[in-house]
Amino acid sequence: MGVRGLKTYIESSNRNLRSCAFRDKRLIIDGCNLYYRLYFGCNLDQMHGGDYDAFEEMITRFFENLRACDIEPYVVLDGGGDHTDKKLDTLMKRQQDKINAAFALSVGKKGNFLPIHVKDVFTQLLHKLKVPLVQCLEEADWEIAALAKEWNCPVLSDDSDFYIFNLEAGLLPIAHFQWERVKVESKTNKKFIQAKHFTVSKFCASFNMNADLLPVFASILGNDYVKLENIKNLGWEKYAKPGTENTLIDGLLNWLSQFPRPEEAVSALLKLTDHKEKNFVQEALSKEIQEYKLISGSLAQFFHSKMIPRTAYTGPLQILPEQTLRLLLEGKLSSLIIDTLVHQRFFFPSQVEDFRLPCSSETSRPIRQVIYGLLLSGKKQTGKPIKTLPGASKPYVEEYSRLDLNLNSQKVEAIKTKVMEGLQLETLWEVMKMS
């Protein structure tokens, strides 16, 4: 997710972030955001496949410093893509951007590109360090926020969506989390990490605004999922306070502050909207507001007792054996399994390579075809519709990877070999035990 421009706006004023000495508390960590920020923040090698020794040393030091301050970390990682496919256009654009960044590095230009195995190294190291972690079955933002609300503890992330979720314990932005320099309180001799703390309640109080209006604000400004350009360009700047740098954000927040509840704000917006667009705008705003409503999530039980969430037993993933689901949630299996079953689609990460040659992911395609065959034969058993190649009854997975300098998709046939005859997903682990 992520709300464009909001992070910069909030950090432009000292009143929005207060200093705090953080110690002796639970901390929910946005894992993907953390490894992304730390890898780039420490200027590690991006051109030669990744500097994983230095990365491992840095991550080890990070969690050692947390423990020195009696901070109890819980790491949550993204898994598969959103089941509604509402973010597909954004995903495709980002994949093309990554191809461009990888190519720039390959020809000696500057850029930021995350090496291909950073997530794997990060996950394996956390298991080694015995840091509790879970890989969500979809994107992690909502589950992170729901867990933080349930446990009443802060989130560590630089994702601007956590400036919208109304979390009582608030957000600690990674950019201001000074984990490398552990300090000692002179009176108690206890160690702490200097950080900055954000809460929605204090932010909204500065505008005298109901916090429930922030999701409306996020929808208008536009995030990954909702693009309401016509509403965004209705001249909100005229409501900004004099001397404000980002007049669009400030003006919109000031305008929204006049309404007691989201319903009144949405009604006022619809009056400003062209008649032809009213239904679309109303539906888009309604969906977006729901995205930020928090109820009890499924992660607390998994962290406490390794109990698999009930939601995992519904939809396309219900065919997976319990052991497979558990390994997915522990981050020990690739999210390729999730995306194959949910979307019959997978985006392969780009890497810095010789762009005159075929994409390196092609070399392992025969292995993937067998994996697809095993997974999709199981999906067929549920009676759910399965996508097949035109003019044939053969299931496929749509693979997105690089072709020269462009993102390209190819329908790859799922293969069932003779060795796989009689092999079912439900009994796969028993067969492995016997072999």
Phi, psi of 156 (to 5 degrees): -105, 110
Same structural domain, 174 and 200: yes
Are residues 192 and 221 both part of a single domain?
no
Domain shared by 102 and 186, yes or no: yes
Q: Which of 301, 219, 281, 298 is nearest to 252 (CA)?
A: 219
Q: Do 15 and 150 share a structural domain?
A: yes
Residue 411 lies in a domain: yes
Indicate if the pLDDT at residue 96 is higher than 60: yes
One domain, residues 234 and 150: no
How confident is the model over 392-434, as pLDDT tens digits?
789 999 999 999 999 999 999 999 877 776 666 666 666 555 5
Domain range for residue 53? 6-205
Q: Is residue 434 part of a domain?
A: no
- Work out how many domains the chain is built from and give that number: 3
Residue 237 located in a structural domain: yes
Quote the Cα angle for 424-413-395, to 5°: 60
Confidence of residue 339 (pLDDT cuts 50, 70, 90): very high
Same domain flag for 332 and 388:
yes
Clarify whether residues 149 and 182 are in a common domain.
yes
Residue in the structure block whose two tokens are 């429930």: 212
User: Which 8-state DSSP code applies to residue 331?
Assistant: T
Length of the chain: 435
Q: Which of 15-29, 139-153, 294-308, 356-370 has the lowest mean pLDDT?
A: 294-308
Give residues with Cβ within 8 angstroms of 251, minimum separation 6.
236, 237, 238, 239, 240, 244
- Tokens for 291, please give them: 């995205």
Q: Cα torsion for 285, 288, 293, 295, to the nearest 10°?
A: 130
122 and 243 in a common domain? no
Confidence of residue 358 (pLDDT cuts 50, 70, 90): very high
Residue 427 pLDDT: 65
Strands (E), 40-197: 72-77, 133-135, 155-156, 171-172, 183-184, 191-197
What pLDDT sits at residue 149? 96
Looking at the fold, whether 273 and 146 belong to one and the same domain comes out as no
Dump pLDDT digits (tens) for 109-141.
988 899 999 999 999 999 999 999 999 999 999
φ and ψ of 53, to 5 deg: -65, -50
